[in-house]
Amino acid sequence: MGRDATEGGGQRGIEVGDPAPDFTLPATGGRTASLAALHGKPVVVYFYPKADTPGCTREACGFQEALGQLGGIGVTVIGISRDAVPALERFAAKFGLGFPLASDADAAVAKAYGVWVEKTMYGRTSMGLERSTFLIDAAGRVARVWRKVKVDGHAAAVLKAVQALP
């Protein structure tokens, strides 16, 4: 999982061993998602393109399914997209998501993590979120990075990596 350069713009992506960029974002349930507030505990931060779309729904439901095991070993899950909090609230309620979904409206956190990338669809180029997951250890360092995530089986792979943390 070494060095990953993002597409378009050539920004250096976050690498294993790097300090995880801190953030404080508004989140579902009237919460604030803050990495600093979770220092000393492992955290799974995942970025997804849009709430309540098929792939993002499967991914969120996969993390919800693994939440009991993740929470049981002291791991917090935070999902981040550019959606506004009201849309995230509807998404969380519709699928019974118990972990915070945070709104990165200006993509500042996505840029800090190197997941705000150039995408091409149907010959058109635009900027968007790359589906990515970061496992952050208790010391606040990136322990594992998954880029261009394929949704099916992803939450199980993340759980396995979390269980392997020292």
Q: What residue has token string 């200006």?
A: 106
Residues 6+ apart with CB under 8 A from 119: 7, 8, 125, 126, 127, 128, 130
Q: Is 56 a catalytic residue?
A: yes
- Of 56, 67, 80, 149, the catalytic one is 56
Give the CB-side neighbour count of residue 75, counting CA atoms within 13 A.
26
Residues in the chain, total:
166
101 closest CA partner among 117, 115, 81, 126: 81
Residue 158 CA: distances (Å) to CA of 61, 100, 118: 14, 17, 25
d(CA 66, CA 107): 27
One-letter amino acid at 138 equals A
Beta strand pairing call for 76-81 and 101-103: parallel
Residues with a catalytic annotation lie at: 56
